[in-house]
A and B are shown apart, each in its own frame.
Chain A
Amino acid sequence: QKEVEQDPGPLSVPEGAIVSLNCTYSNSAFQYFMWYRQYSRKGPELLMYTYSSGNKEDGRFTAQVDKSSKYISLFIRDSQPSDSATYLCAMSAKGGGNKLTFGTGTQLKVEL
């Protein structure tokens, strides 16, 4: 069993929809949670970073962490065609530095 599980999709939604992307994990030592966005044939770029449980909002993006359920989410409001990409969750343990454990990524397509 992988430490981090993520539905690969693809997920197709109409423009303007609210998108929910999720990851589950098994390692209770994970304390730092990140979402990266990766456009086709490009490297990943950091989208959101959260520590421990709770919510964090940045513009149209909201990251949510529920450590009791070992479940993290990324919500995208008013989705745009430019949001079409693969979204990777990543996490690390306290003291683990930047040795991140990544999910396999969810491919999102926002259609006009």
Chain B
Amino acid sequence: NAGVTQTPKFQVLKTGQSMTLQCAQDMNHNSMYWYRQDPGMGLRLIYYSASEGTTDKGEVPNGYNVSRLNKREFSLRLESAAPSQTSVYFCASSEGLLTGELFFGEGSRLTVL
């Protein structure tokens, strides 16, 4: 049972480089999310997609773009990486918007030098 799969698990970038974090879920969930987790800051919502074809900004969207490619996949793109984007990124999915239960992937650790 794969659940939520994120790739890559680790990445080192130089300032100004771009990259895309990939996320796929096999639970037929409608909603998907991208969070970042930083020490002392907790998990903060970057973007979410309530359903296929829709995306909305969360608490910290600046410097990121997302694409809901289909029901299974939700990618996060950093167009011009900055050291402030060094973080652990988590993708999550949920059946709907009212369940309170998010299923998280194992995280992608990104370092921007």
Contacts and interface: CB of A to CB of B under 8 A. Distances in A.
B43 to A, nearest CB: 4
A105 B33 CA distance: 19
Interface of A: 4, 6, 8, 32, 34, 41-46, 49, 88, 90, 92, 97-100, 102-105
Contact of A43 (B40, B97, B106): B106
Contacts of A100: 43, 45, 100, 102
B43 A92 contact: no
Interface size of B as a range: 20 to 34
Contacts of A90: 43
A8 B40 contact: yes
B106 A88 contact: no
Contact of B41 (A46, A88, A97, A104): A104
B81 to A, nearest CB: 22
A41 B107 contact: yes
B42 A43 contact: no
A42 B94 contact: no
Nearest to B44: A102
